[in-house]
């Protein structure tokens, strides 16, 4: 395991830190089995086709037969091994936001040789640059990604989270008259200056700033299985309120380890007012 000092230095200068051997082989198998059961259910409900990932792994619908999977997942996401490290790196309390599971493509439908679009997470639902710049300056978020299989699918521009794009970066990431979700020859270009591709071994984890310029790669081979958990800190981003998911089921929360239960009690308290004000919750 890398030292906290080394991880902090990497995070502060490059917007990411790699944690070699974060999970041992038994833990990888355990959490992968939970996520794979979710993925199997998702596949039954969706036809094969190009997709980057599945999200909302904590939805109760995936755990109708056995709630132990969601409690184990939440004990990992809200446990001190993850939260203490994150809070040490970012220097602030972090709030859970969402989960994602990255897998290999189920068909060969991925365009542009599997290259994803260059983006900052701030750009989604932000049609104008001024709005995105305000988000970049006012809110913070990070991905905590754990590889259950070797995974070199993430590219990042180190040091880009705390500044705005150069003209060359912006021309690739947000070309004029192009939707912020679009994959085009420009937004998937291999010419992004300073880009670095990160390679994880099974059991490794990486923490990277969601506001950094980054992209993924999506192919049918090799097998890919990576759990990605998104956290936020600082002011609540009203444009990206997490879903209630399973967190209004007190029976689930009561079964968590004490540290994870305390963590998610705080998460529920932070967002309860937003959920109450939202239609259908």
Summarised one tens digit per residue, pLDDT across range 111-127 is 898 999 999 999 998 98
Residue 108 above 90 pLDDT?
no
The Cα–Cα gap between 261 and 167 comes to 45
Contacts with 40 (C-beta within 8 Å, 6 or more apart), sequence order: none
Q: What is this structure's pTM?
A: 0.95
Q: Looking at residue 133, what is its pLDDT?
A: 96
Is the C-alpha dihedral spanning 50, 53, 55, 57 positive or negative? positive
Averaged pLDDT score across all residues of the chain: 95
The Cα–Cα gap between 25 and 15 comes to 27
User: CA distances (Å), 196 to each of 142, 163, 191, 199, in order?
Assistant: 18, 17, 11, 10
The Cα–Cα gap between 126 and 123 comes to 5
Return the DSSP state at 207.
E
Provide the H-helix boundaries in the chain.
4-14, 25-45, 68-77, 80-90, 129-138, 167-173, 250-254, 258-277
Residue 29's Cβ-side half-sphere holds a number of Cα atoms within 13 Å equal to: 3
Q: Looking at residue 205, what is its pLDDT?
A: 98
Q: Looking at residue 107, what is its pLDDT?
A: 87
Listed residue (127, 95, 114) closest to 272, CA to CA = 95
pLDDT, tens digit, for every residue of 160-196?
Answer: 999 999 999 999 999 999 999 999 999 999 999 999 9
Contacts with 102 (C-beta within 8 Å, 6 or more apart), sequence order: 52, 53, 145, 151, 153, 216, 224, 225, 226, 228
With pLDDT > 90 as the criterion, what percentage of the chain qualifies? 88
Span 64-68, average pLDDT: 88
List, in order of start, the domains of the chain with CATH numbers: 4-240+256-277 (2.60.120.620)
pLDDT-based confidence at residue 102 (cuts at 50, 70, 90): very high
The CA-based dihedral angle spanning residues 125, 92, 57, 62, taken in that order and rounded to the nearest 10 degrees: -130
pLDDT-based confidence at residue 109 (cuts at 50, 70, 90): confident
């Amino acid at each position: 395991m890398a030292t906290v000092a080394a991880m902090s230095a990497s995070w502060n200068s490059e917007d990411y830190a790699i944690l070699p051997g974060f999970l041992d082989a038994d833990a990888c198998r355990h959490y992968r089995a939970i996520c794979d059961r979710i993925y199997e259910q998702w596949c039954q409900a969706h036809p094969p086709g190009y997709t980057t990932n599945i999200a909302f792994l904590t939805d109760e619908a995936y755990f109708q037969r056995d709630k132990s999977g969601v409690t184990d997942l939440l004990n990992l996401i809200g446990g001190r091994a993850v939260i203490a490290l994150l809070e040490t790196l970012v220097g602030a309390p972090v709030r859970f936001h969402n989960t994602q599971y990255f897998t290999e493509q189920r068909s060969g439908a991925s365009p542009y040789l599997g290259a994803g679009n260059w983006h900052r997470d701030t750009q989604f639902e932000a049609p104008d640059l001024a709005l995105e710049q305000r988000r970049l300056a006012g809110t913070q978020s990070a991905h905590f990604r754990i590889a259950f299989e070797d995974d070199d699918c993430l590219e990042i521009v180190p040091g880009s989270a705390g500044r705005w794009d150069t003209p060359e970066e912006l021309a690739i990431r947000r070309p004029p008259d192009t939707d912020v979700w679009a994959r085009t020859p420009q937004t998937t270009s291999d010419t992004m200056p300073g880009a670095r591709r990160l390679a994880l071994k099974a059991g490794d984890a990486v923490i990277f700033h969601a506001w950094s310029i980054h992209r993924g790669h999506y192919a049918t081979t090799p097998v890919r299985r990576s759990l990605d958990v998104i956290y936020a800190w600082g002011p609540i981003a009203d444009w990206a309120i997490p879903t209630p998911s399973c967190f209004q089921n007190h029976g689930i929360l009561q079964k968590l380890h004490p540290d994870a239960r305390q963590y998610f009690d705080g998460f529920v308290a932070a967002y309860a007012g937003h959920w109450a004000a939202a239609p259908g919750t």
